[in-house]
Copies of this chain bind each other. A is one copy, B any other.
Amino acid sequence: MRITSCACCAGFNLYSSAAAAPADAGGGAPGAPRSGGTVEPALLEDIAIASRICAMEGVFDAFGHLSLRHPGDPRRFLMSRSKAPALTNADDIMEFDLDCIACDQRGRGMFLERFIHGEIYKVRPDVNSVVHSHSPSVVPFSLVRNQMRAMFHNAAFIAQGVPVFDIREKFGATDMLVGGIEKGRELARALADKSVVLMRAHGSVAVGPSLQHAVFRAVYTEVNAKLQLSATLLGGPIAALDEEEGRLADAVNFASASRPWELWKLKAAGAA
């Protein structure tokens, strides 16, 4: 995997960990995909903490899930078994190939919508983490013509534009879930090169180059939606960030994502 030595990741050191140890002998079932290699326990713990942070910050309720691309193999990703995200622990984290087949299922339940993750990883090499949620201020924007815009610098990534994926355009009446490769592919196409995509009458997906950035974007998409609801109530026009302001401000956010992460991590651990 092509990870540069960019200092802004130093604080996170997910990908700078040289040692992607080979999968151990016990590996998966016959016919299952090979593991991308052993992952450091601290990283598995971070994935679980990220789930609990999203629950704590109101991005997840009993539903929602996130994933991280495998640090040792870009064709694998790590994701919790099907479980309320507030309850996720490091030992719930499973490994999947990009077709969302578990490397070592061992009877564990899997999220029906893991194809959201796999299909985005296939077409977005810049993305190393995906968060799917139904956060309550965001869902309404998936239902109306009024588009989400960037209300302040912390949500600058929204100034790129936030497309809406309407599953019925391609698939007609469905159960609304992205429950297979084909639906995941269409969702990834709707996302295109953006950071967030809304899903009509369902929720949204935020992506980022790291777990911390994807969580940051999921949280601030919800915050931005709240701000836009209030601004709409006050009456327009709304002097949102323009595209150039968004681009410039997002570079700063990119560098500051570790500050909320450290705070949230402590709060999730009950220490702040």
Interface residues of A (CB under 8 A from B): 1-13, 61-63, 82-84, 86-87, 112, 134, 136-137, 139-146, 150-154, 156, 166, 168, 173-177, 200-203, 223, 226-242, 244-245, 248-249, 251-252, 254-256, 259-260, 262-264, 266-267, 272
Let me know if B139 and A152 touch, CB within 8 A. Answer: yes
A153 engages B175 (CB within 8 Å): yes
Q: A144 near B236 (CB under 8 angstroms)?
A: yes
Could you tell me the distance between the alpha carbons of A202 and B83 in the complex, rounded to whole angstroms? 36
Q: Once bound together, how far apart are the Cα atoms of A156 and B175, in whole Å?
A: 9
Could you tell me if B12 and A255 are in contact, using CB atoms closer than 8 angstroms? yes
A223 contacts across to B, CB distance below 8 A: 61, 136
A84/B230 in contact, CB under 8 A: no
Residues of B close to A1: CB separation below 8 A: 10
Residue of B nearest to A3 (CB): B7
B245 touches A168 (CB 8 A): yes
Question: Whole-angstrom distance between the alpha carbons of A233 and B139 in the complex?
Answer: 13
CB neighbours (8 Å) of A2 from chain B are 7
- From B141, B236, B248, give the contact of A173 (CB < 8 A): B248
Shortest distance between the CB of A246 and any CB in chain B (Å): 9
Q: With A and B bound together, what is the CA distance between A93 and B61 in angstroms?
A: 29
Q: Would you call A227 and B136 a contact (CB within 8 A)?
A: yes
> Contact: B201 with A141, CB < 8 Å?
no
In Å, the complex CA distance between A173 and B254 comes to: 18
Which residue of chain B has its CB nearest to the CB of A236?
B144
Give the residues in chain B near A245, CB-CB below 8 Å.
168, 173-176, 201
A241 and B230 alpha carbons, distance in the complex (Å): 22
In order of increasing CB-CB distance, the 5 nearest A-B pairs are A62-B260, A11-B252, A84-B263, A140-B230, A140-B231
Q: Given the complex, which residues of B lie within 8 Å of A61, measured CB to CB?
A: 223, 260
Docked-complex contact A11 and B134, CB < 8 angstroms? no
A62 near B259 with CB under 8 A, answer yes
A200 to B249, CA, bound (A): 13
Most buried by B among A231, A242, A251: A231
In the complex, what distance in Å separates the CA atom of A168 from the CA atom of B232? 22
Is the Cβ of B144 less than 8 Å from the Cβ of A239? yes
